[in-house]
Structure 1
Amino acid sequence: TVGTTLDGTLGLVVGDGFQLGLFNEFEPQGTPVPLSQVKAAIGTGGLERAGNDGTGIDVALIDTGVVPVAGLDRGDVVAHGPDLSFDQQAGLAPGLDGYGHGTHLAGIIANREAGSNGGIAPASRLLNLKVGASNGAVDVSQVIAAIDWVVQHRSADGLNVRVLNLSYGTDGVQPYELDPLTHAIESAWRNGIVVVVAAGNTGGSLTNPATDPFVITVGAADLKDPKKPGDDVVADYSAIGSATRRVDVVAPGTSIVSLRDPGSTVDRENPSARVGDRHFRGSGTSQAAAVTSGAIADLLEARPTLAPDQVKALLKATARPLPRSTASSQGAGMIDLAAAWKANLPSRTTQDLAASTGKGSLERARGSVHVSLDGRELRGEIDVQSAPWTPDVWAPLSSAGTAWSGGTWNGNVWAGAGYQDGSAAFTGRTWKSATWTGRTWKGDTWTGRTWKGDSWTGRTWKSA
C-alpha cells in the first residue's frame, strides 16, 4: 500500500507484515457507537453531574499526532511536547497527525464539542507527543524517548500529567523484566503517572508493553446493542494474553465514533468509516484504551490523591463482569466509573511485582518488523539516530526521570530544549545522522527531494 503525506511530498511504502494491531481499526464493524453511549456503558453520569470532567488533569498521548479539528481547536485542549517522528525530520509541520490515529483517540479522550460525541473527559488537556509518521512508521526507540520526556516534564511549565495513553505495541521477544520499553512505562508509573496500554488486536497474545503487569492493560468490548448492557461481549479481535498475564479490564472499543482527520492516511484508505463530515468510526483496543484514559482523568479529578496502584486496584475491584464472555478474555470486566468513584479503596493496593531492569535488548524489544530507508533496515543495539544503546547508562536515568538533558536523549539532540504550552518550541530540530542507512541526515537532506519515492517501510503503528 502506498501512502503519501498531507502535502503529497513524500512517497511512503507501507509494509504489510506487522500483524499486531489496527489492521481492521477503521473498517466498519457494526452500528456506529457515539461517545454518549460509551459514557453510559462505563457509568460517567454521576461524575459528570458532580462536575468532574477531567478539569486540571493532563493526559499524555504518545501517538501519531493531533490535528486541531473542531473539538480540539481551542487553545486549552492540546499542549505540545516534541515531535519525535520521521515526519518532523522530513520537514512537515510538527505535531500534526498525518495518519489519523492520534486524532481519533484525542477526540475520545478530550473532544470539547457538545452533544453525543463529546469526549470522556472533555475538560482534560492532552499533551501531544507525536512519534508515528504519516504512514504509521515508528521505531521503539522513539516511543521510549517520548515516554522519558513525559516523565521528566510531567510537572513542568504548568503541566499536571497524571495519565499516559499508549495505544502501541510490538511483538517483542524478551521478558518484561528485561525489556527497555516496559522499563520506561514502569518509570512513568512509579513517578505517579497512570499508564494505560492497549492490549493488542490479535485476539491472542498481548503486545509489548501490555505484557507488563504493573500498568493497566485494556481489552476491547463490543457493546452490540448499546441500549442493552446485557449483550456486551469482549470483541473477537481483542488480545487475551496468557495464564501469567491477561488484560486487567475492558472498555468499549468497537465502532467508536470520534473525530475525523480529513485527508489523513486512514481517512483516505477507509472512506466508508466516515460518519458525516466530521467524524469517523474505529474499532480496536486503541479506542478502548483511550476510553479508559479519559475515565481515569475524570476519576483523578474527583479523587486527586489516588496513586497509580490505587487507581488500578479500584478499576479492577469495581469492574462489571460480562457474563457472555470468558473470564480469561476480560480480566476483571468492563470498567464502571460510577462504582470506582464511590468505592472504598481495597485493603491491598500495592503491587508486589518484579520490576523491569530495562537492561535487555533494544532489538528484541522491536520484535519482527523494522523501519527501513533506502532498503536498509534499522536493526541491532542502536536507536533511530544510530546511537549505541547502553542500557546500564540509560535505565537508571529513565527511572529517575532524568533521561533527557535539554533536547538531548541517548547522546544526541532529538528536540529543542525549551517547552512552552501550545507553542512550536521544538520546530526545526533535526537529528545529526543515521548511519544505519549509509546516509548522513542533516541540513538540506531532510527535504521532500530526498524523501520522494519508495522510502519508508515497516508501518508499526498498527499495534494495539
Structure 2
Amino acid sequence: MLAGATALAPTATASPGVPSAQVIVGYDDAAGARSAVAAAGGTVERELGLVDSLLVSVPSDGLKKLLTAPGVRSVTPDGKVTMTGRTWLADAQNTSISGVTKMTGAQDVWKGRDAKGQPLTGKGVGVAVIDSGIAPATGLSGTGKVVNGPDLSLESQATNLRTLDTFGHGTHMAGIVAGRDPGVVAGQESADPTKFVGMAPDATLLNMKVAATDGAVDVSQVIAAIDWVVVHRNDPGLNIRVINLSFGTDSTQDPRLDPLSHAVEAAWRKGIVVVVAVGNDGAAATRVSMPAANPYVIAVGAADHKGTESKVDDVVADFSTKGNATRHADLVAPGRSIISLRTPNSFLDTMYPTGRLATTVDPSQRYFKGSGTSQATAVVSGAAALLLQQRPTLTPDQVKKLLMLSADPMPQADPVSRGAGQLNIRTAAALPTPLVATAQQKFAASTGLGTLEGARGTAHVVDPDTGTELTGERDIMGEAWNAAAWSASCTAGTAWTTTGQWNGRTWSGSGWATGTWTGTNWTSRTWSSRTWSGATWTGTTWSSRTWSSRTWSGRTWSGGYWSGSHWG
C-alpha cells in the first residue's frame, strides 16, 4: 500500500470529438461549485468532503470557465493511485491486526517484562512515522499516544488540515505500529479480532507529515523530515528510536551518493533503527527502492500467508520487489490484505471504497485494508520498538541482527526476495544479545554527494498551471542544494537549527505547545494571508516567480514509490 503514484489522469471523451478531463475542484461554496460544474458541461463523479473538493469530469473547453466560476477555489488534475501497476489492492482475504500480532509472536512478547517490570508493549519508545499524517482515529487517541512534529507538507498552512492525514496512508501505518483501542489491555482482549491493538501498543508515535491529499511531496521534504527527527530524537517525551519509512523512490544513484540514502544512514549512525519498504514492483524487479537500497537500514518485503495460519506454506507476496543477490529484503513480514485504521473521506478511502470492510464485519466502519510492503514495514517497526523496550541499549545493528537471526525460514518462498525469512519477534526477544562487535555492519560509508534530482528519480511535483516540474538542484523552497554543506550537517546531526531552519530557510517554529511543534512558517514569512485548504497555495514566490492560486499537484511520486507503490 502506500500509496501510489499520482500521475496526470488520461483524458477521456465525453462526446464525439470533445475531449474531457478528470479534475479535482476545490470549493469555498459546495452548491456554487456544483452549479459551476454543470454550467461548464461537466458531471460530479465523487465528493471529497474531507478537503472540500469534488472529483469531476468536464469538457476541456469548459475548464477555463470553471476556473473563474464563483465558489470554485481551485481546479487541479486528478491523480490516480496505483499499487505496483494496480489500484489499491483489497482482495477477498482479511488479515486482522490480531492475526498479525499472533502470527509474528507479538502477543507472546507482550507477556514478558522489561527491567522495570513493565509489560513489553513498546512503552517509552518513540517511533517516527514519516508519511501523510496521522488522523485522530479511535485507536490512536489518548494523552501522549501521538505527538505532532512540524507539518512539512504542502498543506501545512491550513489550520484545518495541518498534521491530519488527508491521504489516508499514514494513519493505516500508525495503527499497525502502535494502535490500541481505549481500555484494551495488550495480551488479554487484544486477541479478540474485534479489538484493535497494534504491534507495539504503548509506543509513542511522532507524526511527521510530508505528503498532501493527493500524495504531492518532493524528496527534499522527506530528507528534511528525517533530519528533523535526528536533531530532535532526544527531546522530552520523544526518545525516537525507530523511523518508519513506508515509501521509496526509483532513484538509480549509487546509495553511497544518493542524498536520501545518506539521510537514513546518518539517522542509523545516531542510534535510530530505520525500517524501509523494498517497494511493490514485484518478482521481476531487480532493484529495491531508495532508500531501502542502503545496506545499513532494515529493508522489508511482504509475506503472503495464503489465507492459512500455518507459516509452512507462506511465500513472498507477488507484488513485493525481489531485488538482487547484492541488495534485497533483509526479512519479510505480513503484508497482504492487512486491516488497519481507516481515515473516513480521505483520498484513499474515497477513491478505493473496496478497501472498506463489509458493515456486518465492521459495524463501526473503522477499518480499511490494503496490501503492500508499506504494511509489512510498519509491522517490523513495531517489532523493533518491542526489542528496544526490552533492551534499551541495543544498537541499530544489534536490532537488525536479532530480527534476521530469529526469522522463520520460508521453504516455499523465493530465496532472494525472502531475505532471512519471516519476522518472528517472539524468538528475537528470547535470543541473547549479540555482541556489538559481531553485530556491527561494515559497509562503505555513504557521502550524500549525489544529486537531489537523482534522488527524485522520476518523481516530481508539478505546477498545474504551467506544467513546470520542480527539477534540478533546488529544494521545495527553491533554495539551491549544496550537497557538500548539507551532507556534513546531516552526518553531524545538525541539519536543522534551533530556530527551525533547514538548508538556509526557516521551515518551522522552534517550540512545543500542547504536544505539537509550533510555528507555521515555511519561510521567513507566512505563505499567504489566505488559507490553503487542501488545494490552494496563494501569493507565494518560488524561484523568482509566483505560483498560481492553485496547488502543486503531485504528478508523480509516480515514479516515486511510497512503499508498496507509486505516490503521486
TM-score of the two chains, using structure 2 as the length reference: 0.76
The answer to whether the Cα contact below 8 Å between 2:505 and 2:523 also exists between their aligned partners in 1 is yes
- Residues 271-307 of structure 1, C-alpha deviations (whole Å, 9 max, x = no match): 1111230000010000000000011111111111110
What residue is the counterpart of 1:423 in the other structure? 516
Is 1:351 paired with 2:444?
no
What residue is the counterpart of 1:40 in the other structure? 102
The answer to whether the Cα contact below 8 Å between 1:313 and 1:345 also exists between their aligned partners in 2 is no
Change (3 A) 1:420 1:446: closer
What amino acid does structure 1 have at the position aligned with 2:512? Y
- Among 327, 338, 344, the alignment partner of 2:426 is 338
What residue is the counterpart of 1:458 in the other structure? 555
Alignment partners' CA distance in 2, 1:297 and 1:403 = 25
- Residues 234-277 of structure 1, C-alpha deviations (whole Å, 9 max, x = no match): 10000111221111000001100000000000000111111230
Alignment partners' CA distance in 1, 2:95 and 2:111 = 22
SS in 1 for 2:236: helix
The answer to whether the Cα contact below 8 Å between 2:121 and 2:203 also exists between their aligned partners in 1 is yes
Query: Structure 1 regions of 5+ residues with no counterpart?
Result: 434-440
The answer to whether the Cα contact below 8 Å between 2:249 and 2:561 also exists between their aligned partners in 1 is no
The answer to whether the Cα contact below 8 Å between 1:13 and 1:457 also exists between their aligned partners in 2 is no
Alignment partners' CA distance in 2, 1:220 and 1:12 = 34
Is 1:29 paired with 2:91?
yes
Alignment partners' CA distance in 1, 2:79 and 2:250 = 15
- Residues 104-131 of structure 1, C-alpha deviations (whole Å, 9 max, x = no match): 0011011111443311111011000000
What residue is the counterpart of 2:304 in the other structure? 222
- Superposition pairs for residues 163-312 of structure 1, below 5 Å? 163-203=242-282, 204=285, 205-275=287-357, 276=362, 277-312=365-400
What residue is the counterpart of 2:77 in the other structure? 13
- Superposition pairs for residues 396-411 of structure 1, below 5 Å? 396-405=488-497, 406-411=499-504
What amino acid does structure 2 have at the position aligned with 1:26? W
What amino acid does structure 1 have at the position aligned with 2:452? L
Larger deviation: 94-103 or 31-40? 31-40
Larger deviation: 340-349 or 265-274? 340-349
Instruction: State the shift of 1:25 in Å.
Output: 7.0
- Among 110, 118, 131, the alignment partner of 2:178 is 110
Larger deviation: 48-57 or 450-459? 450-459
SS in 1 for 2:165: coil
Larger deviation: 34-43 or 448-457? 448-457
What amino acid does structure 2 have at the position aligned with 1:170? T
Larger deviation: 83-92 or 272-281? 83-92
Change (3 A) 1:95 1:128: same
What amino acid does structure 1 have at the position aligned with 2:510? A
What amino acid does structure 2 have at the position aligned with 1:414? W
The count of aligned residue pairs is 454
Larger deviation: 157-166 or 221-230? 221-230
The answer to whether the Cα contact below 8 Å between 1:225 and 1:231 also exists between their aligned partners in 2 is no
- Residues 207-234 of structure 1, C-alpha deviations (whole Å, 9 max, x = no match): 1101000000000001112422222111
- Among 194, 208, 233, the alignment partner of 1:129 is 208
Change (3 A) 1:454 1:346: closer
What amino acid does structure 1 have at the position aligned with 2:146? V
Is 1:315 paired with 2:403?
yes
Query: Structure 2 regions of 5+ residues with no counterpart?
Result: 1-8, 10-22, 25-47, 54-72, 113-118, 185-189, 539-547, 564-568
Larger deviation: 144-153 or 31-40? 31-40
SS in 2 for 1:224: coil
Alignment partners' CA distance in 2, 1:25 and 1:318 = 34
Q: How large is the RMSD of aligned CA atoms in angstroms? A: 2.1
- Greater fraction of residues in strand: 2
What amino acid does structure 2 have at the position aligned with 1:123? D
Larger deviation: 177-186 or 44-53? 44-53
Instruction: State the shift of 1:452 in Å.
Output: 6.4
SS in 2 for 1:163: strand
SS in 1 for 2:393: coil
What amino acid does structure 2 have at the position aligned with 1:383? D
What residue is the counterpart of 1:61 in the other structure? 129
What amino acid does structure 1 have at the position aligned with 2:151? D
The answer to whether the Cα contact below 8 Å between 1:248 and 1:316 also exists between their aligned partners in 2 is yes
Change (3 A) 1:346 1:424: closer
What residue is the counterpart of 1:436 in the other structure? none
Of structures 1 and 2, the one scoring higher in RCO (CA 8 A, sep 6+) is 1
What residue is the counterpart of 1:74 in the other structure? 142
Change (3 A) 1:10 1:63: farther
What residue is the counterpart of 1:361 in the other structure? 451
The answer to whether the Cα contact below 8 Å between 1:163 and 1:297 also exists between their aligned partners in 2 is yes
- Residues 398-426 of structure 1, C-alpha deviations (whole Å, 9 max, x = no match): 11111111211000111111134622513
What residue is the counterpart of 2:470 in the other structure? 378
What amino acid does structure 1 have at the position aligned with 2:495? A
The answer to whether the Cα contact below 8 Å between 1:157 and 1:420 also exists between their aligned partners in 2 is no
What residue is the counterpart of 1:158 in the other structure? 237
Is 1:119 paired with 2:198?
yes
Alignment partners' CA distance in 2, 1:81 and 1:161 = 12
The answer to whether the Cα contact below 8 Å between 2:505 and 2:522 also exists between their aligned partners in 1 is no
SS in 2 for 1:95: coil
- Greater fraction of residues in helix: 1
Instruction: State the shift of 1:335 in Å.
Output: 1.0
The answer to whether the Cα contact below 8 Å between 1:33 and 1:226 also exists between their aligned partners in 2 is no
SS in 2 for 1:377: coil
Alignment partners' CA distance in 1, 2:512 and 2:97 = 32
Change (3 A) 1:416 1:224: same
Instruction: State the shift of 1:13 in Å.
Output: 3.0
- Residues 361-392 of structure 1, C-alpha deviations (whole Å, 9 max, x = no match): 00000001210113211000010001000011
What amino acid does structure 2 have at the position aligned with 1:269? M
- Residues 186-220 of structure 1, C-alpha deviations (whole Å, 9 max, x = no match): 11100000000011000112111010000000000
SS in 2 for 1:328: coil
- Residues 35-92 of structure 1, C-alpha deviations (whole Å, 9 max, x = no match): 1111121111321112201010010000000010111121221001100001114565
What amino acid does structure 2 have at the position aligned with 1:369? A
TM-score of the two chains, using structure 1 as the length reference: 0.93
- Among 412, 427, 430, the alignment partner of 2:505 is 412
The answer to whether the Cα contact below 8 Å between 1:23 and 1:462 also exists between their aligned partners in 2 is no
SS in 1 for 2:275: strand
Instruction: State the shift of 1:336 in Å.
Output: 0.9
Alignment partners' CA distance in 1, 2:95 and 2:309 = 11
Select the structure of larger CA radius of gyration: 2
